[in-house]
Structure 1
């Protein structure tokens, strides 16, 4: 839905953005100097997904949903531009992320094809064919698998 006076923000799951946009938003939100981070690469490799918020002037918010590749997903870096704070943008970013993950194919989320062998020993995973699989790890009685958002 395009933005309008009634709905001034456009929210998009895995919405496009430029590194410059996110770096500027991050610097403003966390009050640090402007970095030159490659957000497209980071989010593509490490995230289950993200939600962008835009208005007629550009990117005003983003939330990153990271995950362990198995069953745990959590919110990282909810960022809202100062000029649109207190208008529900942050809340709506989280709502869209939650809706998308519970009402979509989040049960089999996309995972980067990058190799994760460097994490094998630390995480208890065996990496085969560039996709990490959980090792058989005994769990205490009564402990089940977690649920996604």
Structure 2
């Protein structure tokens, strides 16, 4: 895998990722996670970034977009063993670069209140938004 390396962690754009390793990462990172088939998500993404230390997936972010001016950061995930070292911010910064390179003018993110300082540190500013639960 080629990509940007820092502190022994390599970031790669659109790396081959399987359901097993994504579910392992999400399961370790999100207590409510349920087994997911990530293939449909990746097939519709502008890009995604994977972070690896050695051969272990330690971080992930997905970049969705509308094909025009708006891109969306989804599922920023860092393994608990890797937190507090700036990996999440590196993932978001790389996602922003990819969205910008694709021609997006805006990068959106939804987050829970306890993550506000993380996203502020990534350069996001709060805005009013709406949410409609469909399922």
Question: Which TM-score band (shorter chain)?
Answer: 0.5 to 0.7
Please say if residues 13 and 48 of structure 2, whose CA atoms lie closer than 8 Å, have aligned partners that are also in contact.
yes
Tell me which residue corresponds to 1:147: 105
Larger Rg: 1
Structure 1 gaps of 5+ residues are 108-145
Secondary structure of the 2:12 match is strand
How far is 1:28 from its partner? 1.8
Please say if residues 28 and 82 of structure 1, whose CA atoms lie closer than 8 Å, have aligned partners that are also in contact.
yes
1:147 to 1:21, Cα distance in 2 relative to 1, 3 A = same
Please say if residues 64 and 73 of structure 2, whose CA atoms lie closer than 8 Å, have aligned partners that are also in contact.
yes
Let me know the Cα RMSD of the aligned residues.
2.3
- Deviation digits for residues 89-148 of structure 1, max 9, x if unmatched? 10100111122332x3x03xxxxxxxxxxxxxxxxxxxxxxxxxxxxxxxxxxxxxx824
Distance 1:77 1:69 in 2: 19
Structure 2 gaps of 5+ residues are 108-135
Please say if residues 50 and 97 of structure 1, whose CA atoms lie closer than 8 Å, have aligned partners that are also in contact.
yes
* Residues 96-115 of structure 1 aligned to structure 2 (within 5 Å): 96-102=94-100, 104=101, 106-107=102-103
Distance 1:65 1:100 in 2: 8
How far is 1:3 from its partner? 8.6
